[in-house]
Amino acid sequence: MTVRASPSVLSRVKPLAAFLAIVWGVAASFIAFDLLILAGATRLMEAGGPFEALAPLSALENSEVCRVEPADSSSAGRRASPDIRSRAWTLGVQMGLHARAALIVAENAQGASGERASAPLAGQRRAVDGAAAELERLAAALNVPRPAAFTPANPVTVNIEFVPFVEGGENHTGRALAVAYGRDACELYKMGTYWGFSVLVRTALPGEPNILAREIGYYARRVEVPESMWRPMVARTPSNASSDALVTEADAATARVTAYLRNAPEAGAAPTK
């Protein structure tokens, strides 16, 4: 399976478009078992499903990453500007995409053998390295630390480990966004990381809901992104959907949220817990 981007959508979403194009090329057919491990449980716990309320949210609700007090930040309690909101979201999406793509390249490297495999792998590595440089540039533009690399302890529990990675105290990028721009920007960043991390899994597993549907829905509601813009990205996909169709859907959903954040009118106070 070769996943390709939709040029018409990507051309309108800069700078996110450049990395999306890279990632679709990287994510060929090396989606391993770790991408499937949560599919069965997610079927019951998907956002909007009958058992949604039973899915644990303690890691998100108890996270200290985005909590700022007036003494810590002059932006505490205020919503960031549309420009900062869209940038924080884009940084998160790119972080999640890069984290997943880097893991796929690592899996490719373990399974590669011979000269025939080495050339595509080298190209994938260059693409991910270039994406990492772009990620650093975006973080620098926001004057926050570059997102840390995600290095799961067990390849079978990648999807499970990603949540505490985002919600834990080592998320210095999210924390810096909260201090500089307020909780709203931090939570948009976290929503973006879950969104981006789940995209490659979603395009490879037709018939399944988003593996991080609960996390995306939680933050989308908190930062008041209209449900019509994010719901298609967490709902179950058609079992007969092609990867191309799912890529196009993901691009369109990402573009909708990005445009909404960039063009939304200035607002006052950010949502509180």
CB 251 within 8 A of CB 11: no
Q: List all residues 6 or more positions away from 10 whose beta carbon is below 8 Å from its beta carbon.
A: 17, 20, 21, 251
For the chain, the maximum distance between any two Cα atoms, rounded to a whole number of angstroms, is 59
Length of the chain equals 273
Residue 220, pLDDT above cutoff 50: yes
CB 148 within 8 A of CB 173: yes
Averaged confidence pLDDT in the chain: 78
For residues 1 and 168, what is the distance between their CA atoms, to the nearest angstrom? 35
Provide the pLDDT confidence category of residue 72 given band limits of 50, 70 and 90. low
Whole-structure pTM value: 0.80
For residues 210 and 232, what is the distance between their CA atoms, to the nearest angstrom? 10
What is residue 208's predicted lDDT score, i.e. its pLDDT?
84
More confident position, 236 or 72: 236
Question: pLDDT, tens digit, for every residue of 232-262?
Answer: 899 889 999 998 899 899 999 999 999 999 9
More confident position, 114 or 103: 103
**What are the φ and ψ backbone dihedral angles of 78, each rounded to 5 degrees?**
-115, 150
Residue 29, pLDDT above cutoff 80: no
Q: CA torsion sign, 238 to 24 to 139 to 258?
A: negative
Structure tokens at 161: 């480990």
**Domain ranges across the chain:** 7-263
Placement of tokens 């495999």 in the chain: 117
Residue 222, pLDDT above cutoff 50: yes
Q: List all residues 6 or more positions away from 56 whose beta carbon is below 8 Å from its beta carbon.
A: none
CB 11 within 8 A of CB 85: no
Provide the pLDDT confidence category of residue 51 given band limits of 50, 70 and 90. very low
For residues 132 and 105, what is the distance between their CA atoms, to the nearest angstrom? 13
What is residue 4's predicted lDDT score, i.e. its pLDDT?
38
The mean pLDDT value for 51-73 works out to 73
Q: What share of the chain is helix, strand, coil (3-state, %, to 5)?
A: 65, 0, 35
